[in-house]
Amino acid sequence: MNVDVTALPGIGVRKDFEVRSGRRIGVVAHRDGDIDLIVSKLDDPDACAAQIPLTTDEAAVLANLLGAPQLVAKLNDDHRDMPGITTRQLPIGDDSPYDGRTLGETEMRTRTKASIVAVMRAGQLHPSPGPDFTFTAGDLLVVVGTPEGLDAAAKILTHG
């Protein structure tokens, strides 16, 4: 899929791509750091049907929402020939006992036999985090294991 990058003199940069419907979806990254999510009109790809200003945090959350499910779907597809192995995304919530603590402190692999294979944070993928990786509220963990192990992992991340 091609992403078109267009300089907008005095404003910033527009990055967008065409979706199946013929509309263009993208972002305008302003010179001052502001970010707008944009959707073109169906009949005019240069005209905006919607322009939604996003804070940096909102843009990061949107990136996590879009990125983590794709990674989970890819891993599930990779494991389809391995019965009993599944992949799930698990959040580090604001009230998680592991907000500000390391992966090693969870003892996740020992306690559940599930493995944390990646962390999505603020739109950035952190693959294969080590035991010293510190979790932050809002992280989405990509965890691989049995259904029972994943359920246990979710409980650990929520209740300790």
65-104 residue pLDDT tens: 776 566 666 665 665 666 777 888 899 988 999 999 999 9
Residue-wise pLDDT tens digits, 95-146: 999 999 999 999 999 999 999 988 988 777 888 899 999 999 989 898 989 9
**Tokens 């080590």 correspond to what residue?**
130
pTM above 0.85, yes or no: no
Residue 113 C-alpha from the chain's centroid: 24
Alpha carbon distance 90, 104 (integer Å): 16
Q: Say what the alpha-carbon torsion angle 73, 79, 82, 83 is, to the nearest 10 degrees.
A: -10
Alpha carbon distance 118, 128 (integer Å): 5
Count other Cβ atoms within 10 Å, centred on residue 68: 21
Radius of gyration, alpha carbons of the chain? 19
Question: Tokens representing 86?
Answer: 């599944």
